[in-house]
């Protein structure tokens, strides 16, 4: 990237800093009154409640901090009666931090296959080759 392009890009980002999400609370969702996603679960599949995984004190603190952050941002909410129970999985990130994921393999087995799946990652990577700049979405967490 040329120095001129780099300078223009930095200026654009600085000028538009207020539109970026710097914390999970900044990520505004769609009002549930407008649209809510419901899983299409095959009723013939037996409900699965995965056996609880135990973590050490340090990992429990990491998990609790992430759950608290997601609760405050209203990305997740507590429920009283569980139908399916999927475990938390901590995955190491570069730099010694952890990413909290959920093991949805059992739940995925109960959901019908998508007839219009997302493209394979190699197709996505190939489609971006040859471009000088690439815009990314949700670069703070990678995904949610």
Residue 64's domain comprises 3-116
**Is position 144 within any domain?**
no
Burial track 106-138 (b if 16+ CB lie within 10 A, e otherwise): bbeebeeeeeeeeeeeeeeeeeeeeeeeeeeee
Q: What is the pLDDT of residues 39-91, one digit of tens each?
A: 888 989 988 989 989 999 999 999 999 999 888 888 888 888 778 889 999 99
Q: Give the pLDDT confidence score for residue 106 in this predicted structure.
A: 92
pLDDT tier at 138 (50, 70, 90 boundaries)? low
**Is position 132 within any domain?**
no
Of these ranges, 31-40, 74-83, 131-140, the one predicted with the greatest mean pLDDT is 74-83
Q: What is the pLDDT of residues 71-85, one digit of tens each?
A: 888 888 888 877 888
**Is position 73 within any domain?**
yes
Q: Give the pLDDT confidence score for residue 92 in this predicted structure.
A: 94
CA atoms within 13 A on the CB side of 140: 9
Q: Give the pLDDT confidence score for residue 144 in this predicted structure.
A: 45
pTM: 0.62
What are the residues facing 91 on neighbouring strands?
Answer: 99
**Is position 126 within any domain?**
no
**Is position 72 within any domain?**
yes
**Is position 43 within any domain?**
yes
Q: What is the pLDDT of residues 118-127, one digit of tens each?
A: 777 788 778 8
| CATH code of the domain in which 107 resides | 3.10.10.10
Average pLDDT over residues 16-38: 75
Q: What is the tally of structural domains in the chain?
A: 1
Q: What is the pLDDT of residues 84-116, one digit of tens each?
A: 889 999 999 999 999 999 999 999 999 988 777
Q: Give the pLDDT confidence score for residue 11 in this predicted structure.
A: 93
**Is position 34 within any domain?**
yes
**Is position 139 within any domain?**
no
CA-wise closest residue to 143 among 96, 87, 108, 91: 91
């Amino acid at each position: 990237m040329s120095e001129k392009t780099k300078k223009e890009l930095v200026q654009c980002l600085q000028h538009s800093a207020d539109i970026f999400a710097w914390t999970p609370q900044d990520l505004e969702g769609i009002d549930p009154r407008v649209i809510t996603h419901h899983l299409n679960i095959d009723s013939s599949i037996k409900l699965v409640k995965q056996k609880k995984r135990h973590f050490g004190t340090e990992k429990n603190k990491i998990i609790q901090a992430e759950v608290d952050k997601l609760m405050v941002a209203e990305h997740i909410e507590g429920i009283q009666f569980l139908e399916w129970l999927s475990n938390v999985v901590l995955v190491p990130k570069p730099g010694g931090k952890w990413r909290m994921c959920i093991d949805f393999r059992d739940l995925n087995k109960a959901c019908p296959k998508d007839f219009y799946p997302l493209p394979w990652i190699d197709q996505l990577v190939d489609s971006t080759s040859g471009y000088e700049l690439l815009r990314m979405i949700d670069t703070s967490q990678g995904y949610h």
